[in-house]
Amino acid sequence: MNSKILIVLLMITITIVNAQNSKTKTETLNDLINTAVSVSPEIKMLESKYKIAKSNIEIGTNLPDPVLTLGLVNMPTNSFSFTKEPMTGKIVGLSQAIPFPGALSSSADAKAIDTAIVKENIVDLKNKIRKEVAGLFYTLQFIRENIRYAYESINLLRQISDVVKQKFDVGNASLQNLVQIEVQITQVKNRIETLKSKERSVLSKLNALLLRESNAGINTPEVKPIKFFDTGKVNLIELAKENRPLLKSIKIATKKAELLKKAAEYSFYPNFKLALQYSQRDYSAKTSTDYVDFFSVIVGISLPINYGGNKTEKVNRAIHLGSYYNDQYNTALQNLAKSIGTVNANLVEMYNRENLITKELLPQANQAFDAAIADYKVGKIDFANVIKAENDILNFNVELAKVRTEYYKNLFTLEYLLGEEINNIAKNSTETNDEE
């Protein structure tokens, strides 16, 4: 009876565990990217910078506070009496500085442009994180594929070892062959340990971007064949001009220089100051006179004399800043063109190498291995040829995995350079070609 209850409880436990495991969703590359973006301290820092820039718009771009003035005028020093002299009075004044019309709004426009620049910086950083996560993900995928092929190589070497032992038993193989095959297996095991160390290192870097424990598990699927994207059908430079946040932010900064120049030009116009003043006088018992109060209105105008050319230099500074941003834009565009050209060349190279490996090198290596085993069994070739044939299969499999992962890493680099996802580019390109 107790054993039946134990079995039932065990089955219930297994069912619960399986149910929980079934709810666990394997994270895709996009899931990892979204997580890295959502937890990124750098993005949060830029978001705070955006709030600072937004708050800065109102600073110094509104009317200054009015000034309240309280005072005494014409107070006689021999008596300090308010009623002895008719000109003695108490003053209450209010003054307001008024910049030239349009000066404040012009300054606000120049400051507001900073928020647009920070927005583009945030988008560019998100794209950079996307590239970094993808790069580490595909590196991790390649290392694990490399480890898998290494284990397959060990299995293949053990099969070769069985053949060698059979030949050794009948005196057709030397003890050196047996030792050599074990040395080869040990070398592959050593390679696996090196790869596992690299795997832990890359996993730690990827988890750092996700703000997770360094040894937190991340699943990677098998390396997929290359899905070639023909970049020749798209004007990538024009696409980068439209979408790359870096270029857009420099363009916005160029516009800011123009607004700063416009704001600086207002320094050549006068500012105004309006003051209202009320003077209250007391009744004089001595003269039996009730003195009349006074009300004054004063308008002041600043004289923009431009001593030492300080106002002119404000305008010149904005002009030079505009030239700087134009040169920066052209420099960034030039570097971008070089980077895009390099990535394009890599994409074509990886695609051609995949075709060469899958259609020629790898099939030939498998055929050579089968032939080497057959010839070795009948004593036509030396054992070293068998080892070489097996090693060629391992190297070509590893090279194929590297080519494929490097292709997708370069594809994500291209996305970062263009500021647009490849799927969207391919979709738009197809729609354009259909219209034509």
pLDDT digit string (tens) for 140-183? 999 999 999 999 988 888 887 787 777 666 666 667 777 788 88
Q: What is the mean pLDDT of residues 120-131?
A: 95
In total, the chain counts a number of residues equal to 436
Q: How far is 129 from 126, CA to CA, in rounded Å?
A: 5
pLDDT of residue 119: 95
pLDDT of residue 192: 93
Q: How far is 15 from 311, CA to CA, in rounded Å?
A: 80
pLDDT of residue 428: 58
Q: How far is CA 301 from CA 152, 200, 265, 270, 274, in A?
A: 89, 72, 17, 6, 9
For the chain, state the CA radius of gyration: 40
CB 196 within 8 A of CB 147: yes
Q: How far is 27 from 403, CA to CA, in rounded Å?
A: 24
Count other Cβ atoms within 10 Å, centred on residue 160.
Answer: 23
Q: How far is CA 99 from CA 55, 147, 307, 309, in A?
A: 21, 72, 19, 20
CATH code of the region 27-63+100-269+307-435: 1.20.1600.10
Summarize pLDDT for 201-240 with one digit per residue, the tens. 999 999 999 999 988 889 999 899 998 888 777 788 999 9
154-168, 198-212, 362-376, 411-425, range with the lowest pLDDT: 154-168
- Per-residue pLDDT band at 99 (split at 50, 70, 90): very high
The string of DSSP codes covering 329-387 is HHHHHHHHHHHHHHHHHHHHHHHHHHHHIIIIIHHHHHHHHHHHHHHHHTTSS-HHHHH
Summarize pLDDT for 282-303 with one digit per residue, the tens. 877 667 778 888 899 999 999 8
The string of DSSP codes covering 38-76 is HH-HHHHHHHHHHHHHHHHTSTTSSPPPPEEEEEEES--
Model's pTM, two decimal places?
Answer: 0.82
pLDDT of residue 1: 47
Hey, what are 89's tokens? 């009075």
